[in-house]
Every structure is written in C-alpha cells, then in structure tokens.
Amino acid sequence: MRTPLLILSLLFTAAIFSQTKLYVHPNAQEYVLNTNTMAILPMAVQVKLRPKQLKDFTSEQIEDMCKNEALDIQKAMYTWFLTRKKRGTMLVNVQNPARTNALLKKNGIDIHSYDEYLPSELGKILGVETIITGSFETSKPMSTGAAIGLVVITGGLFSTSSAIMNMDFMNTADDELVVNYFKKVKGSLGSDAQDLINVLMRKVSRRIPYTR
C-alpha cells in the first residue's frame, strides 16, 4: 500500500533542486497601493526537448507547442492569483486572461509577441495598472495536448523535469519594474501547468508585495 502513496508524494513534492532570486522595488508598496487591477500576458516559452525528441516534430509543431504552453501557464497563474484573492491574501484584482488576450488581438497585437510595446502602452489598451510578463523554459511540456503527444511519440521517456521562470511585474504608469521573480527548479514538477505554477509560486507568494 505504500507504493501508490510514494508515487503520489514524488509527483507533487517540491523540486529536488531550486534556485530563487527576487527583486522588489524600494517603493513597491506605493505601486501596489496605486494598482487596482493587473493583467497576466502570455510568457515567451521555450520547450527544450532532447535531440531524439526534436526529430519527431516540425518547427511549426514546436512553435505551436510553445504557444499552447504559454496559454496554459497564463491560465494557471490566473487561477493561482484568483485563489489567493478568494482567500483574502491578494491585494489587487487580476484581469481574466480571456479579456486580456481579446483586447490585445482587437488592437492588432500578437499575444505571443508584444516586446515592441511599452508597459504603459499595453496598460492603456488593457485598462490595468500592472502587467506581468516574462519568459519560461522547460524540458517537459505541461500543456495537456503537447504532453500527451510527446508521451505517445517517445513512449513516456522524458529527461528529468526542469523549469526556469523569469517573471516581471511592470507598472504601466511609468514603465517601472516593481518585481522581478526568477525561479529555477529541477525535479518533480507535477503533471500539468497548474502543478507547475504551484511549485514555482509557493515559496515566493508571501514575499511578493501584491500578496500578503
């Protein structure tokens, strides 16, 4: 009876290796007080597969995999923040990603490529005081479709799961970086994007000025 419990424990436990860096602006509390709503934009995602795995995918399939991963992570982060909002530990509102993405598209902005726009420009379009942007790199896709496809092709053989998240909280009034959160983990990341975000965000949640 111990084996299933052991497997479940290994699946959802914190990572074997973890590295965290956090920058918080000296006037972060003031920025938070002036924030009513923040928006989470799709991150720039890289899924770094082994050469043997890469040969089974076209460049278009890899690109689609990364875009699907970005959307799944965006939704998972929204759920993570929303849960804390319901608990009363989130100090600001969080815009629904469906609204965020729709507003960007209506203004002719590619939701996966918005680097040429300033946070202040994006803030006006989205009607928010803070935006979350950044990059994400993983050795194992967490989006359901990509993960299932890769399991079928590779027979379920993955390298050790690893992930690197570099996330920026940008103020849209003055384009100032309020928080930078860098997290690198290696080990057990769970089975989907929500598990992954829980691992990445768990320890830093009380240190981000937007939560308490």
Domain ranges for the chain: 2-202
Helix (H, G, I), strand (E, B) or coil at 7: helix
Of 18 and 103, more confident = 103
Residue 87 scores a pLDDT above 90:
yes
Residue 160's CB: how many other CB atoms inside 10 A? 13
pLDDT at residue 189 in the model: 65
Which residues have C-beta within 8 Å of that of residue 185, sequence separation ≥ 6?
14, 15, 17, 18, 19, 162, 163, 199, 200
Residue 113's CB: how many other CB atoms inside 10 A? 10
Residue 181 scores a pLDDT above 60:
yes
Tell me how far apart the alpha carbons of residues 130 and 172 are, in angstroms, rounded to a whole number: 6
What is the bridge-based pairing of β-strands 44-47 and 130-138? parallel
Query: In the structure encoding, which two tokens stand for residue 22, read together?
Result: 């956090």
Exposure letters 26-51 (e unless 16+ CB within 10 A, then b): eebeebbeebeebbbbbbbbebebee
Of 92 and 13, more confident = 92
What one-letter code names the amino acid at 136? F
The arithmetic mean of pLDDT across residues 49-73, rounded, is 80
Query: What's the predicted TM-score (pTM) here?
Result: 0.82
